[in-house]
Structure 1
Amino acid sequence: MYGNVAIDGPAGAGKSTAARMVAERLGYIYIDTGAMYRALTWKVLNSGSRWDDEEIIRLAAVTKIEFSLDEQGGLQTICDGSDVSREIRERNVSANVSRIARIAGVRRRMVELQRRMAAQKPVVMDGRDIGSFVLPDAPHKFFLIASLEERTRRRCRQMEEQGIDFDRSQVSADIKARDEMDRSRTVAPLVQAADAKLIDTDCLTLHQVVALIIKEIRGE
């Protein structure tokens, strides 16, 4: 075993897909931390709850978030027993998830769950603060980046494949706004850990990115 793997980066940099493939190659558990925050955001949006920090923290404490594989081997995000994999990728969730994620009490709850998962067995975990905050002692850390144009193209393609309506200019604006919120939040902002390997994915295929990460982990 090579130990836990932390993969961070901004929205649309390709970290989730790469992390999932790396986990498969290593035989590790894949933890999509972004999906955890999205699932809670989806619950808040559909619960009729007040947009009050204390109320959202209370919801986070009683929300059960799990991951499972569908019949095709795809990762499913389960929130309180319901598969919300498609719903958490809709624009309304994307536009509000950073607002939820910057609440200190919410992050404490999610980090508690994430660290508990990583303590049980080796994981590949992706997010925005994994290497810098959630798993600072992870022996393998990576920070993926890509241009705004490329990230917009990827997100639009993803939404198209999922049958979600979108406006390209709005998707770009949403990603840019989320970048700013993620980098400026007080608690565990988006930042590259000092010992994380930087990978620019603009001109790389997904398989090339995965190959680079695997090679680095194995010390080849």
Structure 2
Amino acid sequence: MSQVDVIAIDGPVASGKGSVSSGVAKALDFHVLDSGALYRLTALACMNQCVDLSDAAAAEKVAQSLNPLFKDGKIYLEGKEVTDAIRTEEVGLNASKIAAYPGVRKALFELQRRSAVAPGLVADGRDMGSVVFPEARLKIFLTASAESRAKRRYNQLKEKGISSNIDDLVSDLKDRDRRDMERSVAPLKPAEGARILDSSGLTLQETIDLVLAWYRESKA
């Protein structure tokens, strides 16, 4: 059981979990766990090693040996900075595929649990409240319409100089939602006791403020 406060923020891809988690953590001076980055790192490592992504055992082996470094807002894999590399659509799609493998999820479980250290943790992912931190003080299921999420992702990619198509992004997001919700292990769904937060009509700061208000309420 975690001995420090954990705020678990789960939800579908591109729902704004990363930005909200960072904002909440900054306000509270908490650590942040971007669990999605671990799956993306595993996917990138598989791609770098030319591992067949349909081979669950091979992907699990890569996950077991994963030793990333998170430092000063940047992410390193085998000594190379991969902060932007793991955010490509190709890596994201492959991460969604290997996240369905029970062996991969098991390999990354303890790595995530060890992130709960003082003064507190904001954990961002798909199963933070339901599986990894069921004892979390506050559990949030952050969602938004596929169209709203696609627009956000489009703008993110545009800022990085990556061309994309809104309709394709909507289709990809719906495919990934279905795959995440239908997988046999830790399917995407609100954790027991989670508060549902639809951010479709909210600004980033409004969403952060609401999570902070709910956290203060949980401690009252």
Q: Do Structure 1 and Structure 2 share a fold, with TM-score over 0.5? A: yes
1:63 counterpart = 2:61? no
Give the Cα–Cα distance (whole angstroms) in 2 for the partners of residues 45 and 175 of structure 1. Answer: 21
Contact 2:12-2:177 within 8 A present in 1 as well? yes
Which residue does the alignment assign to 1:19? Answer: 21
Supply the AA of the counterpart residue of 1:49.
V
SS at match of 1:5: strand
Q: CA deviation at 1:46?
A: 1.9
**Structure 2 CA distance, aligned partners of 1:102 and 1:38?**
13
Question: What is the alpha-carbon distance in structure 2 between the residues aligned to residue 136 and residue 161 of structure 1?
Answer: 36
CA distance in 2, matches of 1:49, 1:145: 32
SS of structure 2 residue aligned to 1:211: helix
What pairs up with 1:5-154 in 2 under 5 angstroms?
Answer: 5-51=7-53, 52-69=55-72, 75-118=73-116, 122-154=120-152
Q: 1: CA distance between counterparts of 2:84 and 2:161? A: 9
User: Which residue number corresponds to residue 72 of structure 1?
Assistant: none
* Pairing partner for 1:211 from 209, 212, 215: 209
Residue 115 of structure 2 aligns to a residue whose secondary structure is helix
Task: Note if contact 1:38-1:94 (Cα within 8 Å) is conserved in structure 2.
Answer: yes
Please say if residues 12 and 152 of structure 1, whose CA atoms lie closer than 8 Å, have aligned partners that are also in contact: yes
Deviation at 1:132, TM superposition (A): 0.6
Paired residue secondary structure (1:48): coil
Offset, 1:119: 5.0
Distance 2:31 2:117 in 1: 12
Report the AA paired with residue 160 of structure 1. K
Q: By how many angstroms is 1:83 displaced? A: 1.5
8 Å CA contact retained: 1:13, 1:151: yes
- Alignment check: 8 A CA contact 1:31 1:123 kept: yes
**1:141-220 equivalent positions in 2, closer than 5 A:** 141-219=139-217
TM-score by length of 2: 0.93
Paired residue type of 2:42: L
Alignment CA distance shift 1:201-1:82 (3 Å): same
How many pairs were matched up?
A: 215
8 Å CA contact 1:37–1:101 kept in 2: the answer is yes
Deviations 1:131-163 (A, max 9, x none): 011100011111111001100000011111112
Gaps of 5+ in 1: 70-74
Deviation by residue 1:7-29 (Cα, 9 ceiling, x = unmatched): 00101111110001101111111
1:198 maps to a residue whose letter is I
What is the CA deviation profile of residues 93-129 of structure 1, one whole-angstrom value per residue up to 9, with x for unaligned ones? Answer: 1222111111111101111100011156521011010
